[in-house]
């Protein structure tokens, strides 16, 4: 990005303060979108099968967030086995990840003390209250190239690997460089952020395609 000499002199838009902030925001969005693209794109894992696959026992019966679908999500995650296929891991979800269109529904099921279903008494206990932390991200919705119905569960990454984000030399801060131009009569700006993201283990992730 270049700023002309005239703009530098006038600095009407306070460019020297705004540009680094805009670059930083763009870098954070890029990392965020790259991670959620893994959930949306359902990449092929080392065993030749998709991240979310019936053989991985992490793909639920398509349906809206509700008692049956949440029960299934819990069961499938808890029944995941280790690499040998012998020991049951008992994985619990730490996060529920949804697009904006499902935020209200997800909050009802995660925060209500009573079971949020039709014709249910307020005394009917909601066993899913505080089941997981809610994460809402617009990248997952139709506006971000995803789905307004699909929802996900993820385990605590300290318990089992899910999606790993790695930064070159551990540097998570975008590097901003400036250069006084000769060909450009002003200054040029460049931002650099080296990172990668990859799904490591399917057993800590669950997907339901939604209603």
CA distance 90 to 75: 9
% of the chain exceeding 90 in pLDDT = 65
pLDDT range class, residue 30, cuts 50, 70, 90: very high
Maximum distance among all alpha carbons in the chain?
74
Is 35 in contact with 200 (CB distance < 8 Å)? no
93-130 pLDDT, tens digit each = 999 999 999 999 999 999 998 888 766 666 788 899 99
39 Cβ contact list (under 8 Å, min separation 6): 97, 140, 146, 152, 163, 205, 207
């Amino acid at each position: 990005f270049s700023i002309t000499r005239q703009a530098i002199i006038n600095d009407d838009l306070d460019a020297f303060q705004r540009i680094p902030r805009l670059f930083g925001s763009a870098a954070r969005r890029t990392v965020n979108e790259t991670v959620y693209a893994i959930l949306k794109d359902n990449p092929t894992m080392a065993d030749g099968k998709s991240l979310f696959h019936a053989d991985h026992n992490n793909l639920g019966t398509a349906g809206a967030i509700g008692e049956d679908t949440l029960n299934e999500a819990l069961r499938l995650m808890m029944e995941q086995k280790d690499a040998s296929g012998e020991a049951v891991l008992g994985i619990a979800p730490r996060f529920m990840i949804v697009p904006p269109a499902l935020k209200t529904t997800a909050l009802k099921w995660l925060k209500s003390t009573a079971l949020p279903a039709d014709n249910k008494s307020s005394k009917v206990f909601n066993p899913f209250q505080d089941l997981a932390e809610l994460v809402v991200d617009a990248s997952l919705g139709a506006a971000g190239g995803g789905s307004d119905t699909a929802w996900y569960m993820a385990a605590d990454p300290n318990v089992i690997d899910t999606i790993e984000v790695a930064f070159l030399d551990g540097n998570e801060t975008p590097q901003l460089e400036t250069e006084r131009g000769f060909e450009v009569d002003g200054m040029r700006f460049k931002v650099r952020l080296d990172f990668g993201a990859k799904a490591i283990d399917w057993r800590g992730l669950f997907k339901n395609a939604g209603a």
